Amino acid sequence: MQVVRDSETGTERAGLTDRQNAVLESALNLLVEGGEKAVTTAGVARAANCSKESLYKWFGDRDGLLSAMIAYQAGKVRTVDASGDALTSEGLRKNLSAFAHDLLDVLSGEVSLALNRLAIGQTVGKGRAASRGGPTLGRLLEERGRRQIGRRAATLLEAGRRAGFLAFDDADEAYGTLYGLIVTDTHLRMLLGEDPQALKQEFAARAERAVTSFLALYGVDATADA
Amino acid sequence: MQVVRDSETGTERAGLTDRQNAVLESALNLLVEGGEKAVTTAGVARAANCSKESLYKWFGDRDGLLSAMIAYQAGKVRTVDASGDALTSEGLRKNLSAFAHDLLDVLSGEVSLALNRLAIGQTVGKGRAASRGGPTLGRLLEERGRRQIGRRAATLLEAGRRAGFLAFDDADEAYGTLYGLIVTDTHLRMLLGEDPQALKQEFAARAERAVTSFLALYGVDATADA
DNA sequence: CTCCATGCGTACCGTACGGTACGGTTCCGA
DNA sequence: TCGGAACCGTACCGTACGGTACGCATGGAG
């Protein structure tokens, strides 16, 4: 209730004040250039010009802060599905290509990589140690990020099938194939430290090849249509 | 020189004594069930019944210990390339299928996942912080693990091409496609904490589909051969 | 003007970890 | 039998971090 009136400036998100979002932005900067070890409560407070006490009041915990960072960043990703013209065969190809480019772009982003590293580093194999309240960071990232972009792909594939350009039984399976063709092992390699800039050079070619391969596997011959 | 005589029992690896390898084994156990935070020098010493001083004498540093863990585990992976009969079309398919199964098996292994999480968690975005001496843990893992299994795939693909069953220009590109078709996003999801056991159930089906798709993309019609 | 909430800055505390030092024991070669 | 090297167990030190408490400034409400 305390954040209803005093910061209705329009930049709010998920019930957080602008100030708090600014703090999360600072924290993300720290994370990107220093890894998880750089995100100390004192460090975030110093970088954001706020007090540690405020941090604990707002986010309750260091884990709460990390979760808030993930949620905040995920909220910024907007999947622009301008798929109102996926009727022609060429249009479908264009849309698939755009999707491939966007996917590679998102996955190679500094912030995305840093957050994935954070969530993965936090993950434990057997028992759940911390995370008393909410779900695991990894689960959080999966829900907020992957599901989003997956839905865009699903609608695109569904439109393609409805228009008679694609043929598949299981949409998830088809999406998995598309994802694999596009991403291959680049995501892992970037997570392991390989320079994203070096890999970005071949993104365009890879995206085109992936789309071509995908259409070869799941596309119905356009000449036989209509 | 001190490890030449007193431990020639046969289990040595990479210039480490059996005792040291046993310590690394303990450390890996800790890592698997507790994540990176569980691999403390004191914890490893306690679990392995050795002294911290010995740890530092053997591995020099905590980073050295982690590197040694990666090297040790990588040395255990043996790529059994029994590809002496990849002449028939069916043999190639069998070999590809076996490769797919092995790849998914390796990637879903507890130790593999834990080490990947460790290396990824250690990775920093911008500047290299620690790692004064050797390369990054991520790089190490990539060299030792990925290269190994990649080489097996490369020879397999090359044999397939030489026998006239496969057609491709760039072997790396073809391997990338094969990898993507097999793995898709399962590796990432497991790294993020998704239960490997649940995913393993569909490994067999996925492997077969991947091989089929790969052959559809890169295989030449067997009936036109010879 | 007064009161009080919010929040900054800082100091503080407990703990846990990396790394080092020391004493005691075992084992091997001379 | 002696000497020494390796090594275990433990104690120790410095530091860094998570979390808490206190003092002070600001700014809006009554």
Read off the pLDDT of residues A76-114 as tens digits, 9 standing for 90 and up: 877 776 656 657 999 999 999 999 999 999 999 999 999
Closest-CA residue of B relative to A182 is B180
Chain B CB contacts of A142 under 8 Å are 189, 192, 194
Region at A35 (left for phi over 0; alpha for psi -120 to 50; beta for the rest): left
Instruction: Give the type of residue at A33.
Output: E
Instruction: Round to a whole number and report the distance in Å from the CA of A69 to the C1' of D29.
Output: 34
Instruction: Round and report the angstrom distance from CA (B52) to C1' (D11).
Output: 12
Mutation pick from A115, A185, A194, A197 vs chain B, by most beta carbons of B within 10 Å, is A185
pLDDT in tens, B94-135: 999 999 999 999 999 999 999 999 999 999 877 554 445 667
Q: Residue A61 CB closer than 7 angstroms to strand D?
A: yes
pLDDT of residue B95: 95
Instruction: Give the one of A184, A191, A217 whose C-beta lies nearest to B217's C-beta.
Output: A217
List beta partners, residue B16: B13
Residue B192 has pLDDT above 80, yes or no: yes
| Mean pLDDT for the stretch of residues A144-156 | 89
Q: Is A11 exposed, middle or buried (0-12, 13-18, 19+ CB in 10 A)?
A: exposed
pLDDT, residue B144, reads 84
Q: How far apart are the C-alpha atoms of A79 and A99, rounded to whole Å?
A: 10
pTM of the model: 0.90
Q: Which residue has the tokens 């010879």?
A: B226
Phi and psi at residue B16, to the nearest 5°: -105, 145
Nucleotide nearest to B37 (CA to C1'): C17
Q: Give dist(CA B137, CA B115) in Å, integer.
A: 9
Q: What pLDDT digit, counting tens, does each position of A39-65 carry?
A: 999 999 999 999 999 999 999 999 999
pLDDT of res. B127: 54
pLDDT at site B2:
36
Whether residue B23 has pLDDT greater than 60: yes
Tell which residue, A139, A62, A183, has the closest CA to residue B177.
A183
pLDDT in tens, B56-84: 999 999 999 999 999 999 888 777 766 56
C-alpha span between B86 and B157 (Å, rounded):
10
pLDDT at A4: 36
Going by C-alpha positions, the residue among B148, B143, B141 that lies closest to residue B99 is B148
Assess whether pLDDT exceeds 50 at residue A10: no
* Domains along the sequence of chain B with CATH: 18-74 (1.10.10.60), 87-218 (1.10.357.10)
A225, pLDDT greater than 50: no
Residue A127 has pLDDT above 70, yes or no: no
Helices in chain B by DSSP H: which ranges? Answer: 18-34, 41-48, 52-59, 62-76, 89-107, 110-122, 137-141, 147-162, 171-183, 186-191, 196-200, 203-218
Q: Find all residues with CB under 8 Å of B70, minimum gap 6, and list them.
A: B115, B118, B119, B137, B140, B141, B144
Q: Among partner residues B124, B127, B184, which is closest to A176 by beta-carbon distance?
A: B184
Closest approach of A45 to chain B, Cα-based (Å): 21
* Pick from A114, A196, A122: nearest CA to B118: A122
Query: Is the CB of B124 less than 8 angstroms away from the CB of A35?
Result: yes
Helical segments of chain A, H only: 18-34, 41-48, 52-59, 62-76, 89-108, 110-122, 137-141, 147-162, 171-183, 186-191, 196-200, 203-218
Q: Are the beta carbons of A38 and A31 closer than 8 angstroms?
A: yes
Which of 17-46 (B) contact A at CB < 8 A?
32-36
Distance CA A148, CA A139 (A): 13
User: Please, which pLDDT band fits residue B198 given cuts at 50, 70 and 90?
Assistant: very high
Gap between the Cα atoms of B203 and A209, Å rounded: 25
Residue A100 and residue A211: Cα distance in Å, rounded? Answer: 8
Read off the amino acid at residue B93: R
Q: Whole-angstrom Cα distance, residue A136 to residue A142? A: 10
Cβ–Cβ below 8 Å for B180 and A176: no
What is the model's pLDDT at position A2?
A: 36
Distances (CA, A) of A52 to A47, A98, A201, B40: 11, 43, 42, 28
* Nearby residues of A23 by Cβ (< 8 Å), 6 or more positions away: A44, A48, A50, A55, A58
- How sure is the predictor about B221, in pLDDT bands with cuts at 50, 70 and 90? confident
Question: Of all protein residues, which has its CA closest to the C1' atom of D8?
Answer: B51
**Range in A53-67, B5-19, B146-160, B170-184 with the lowest mean pLDDT:** B5-19
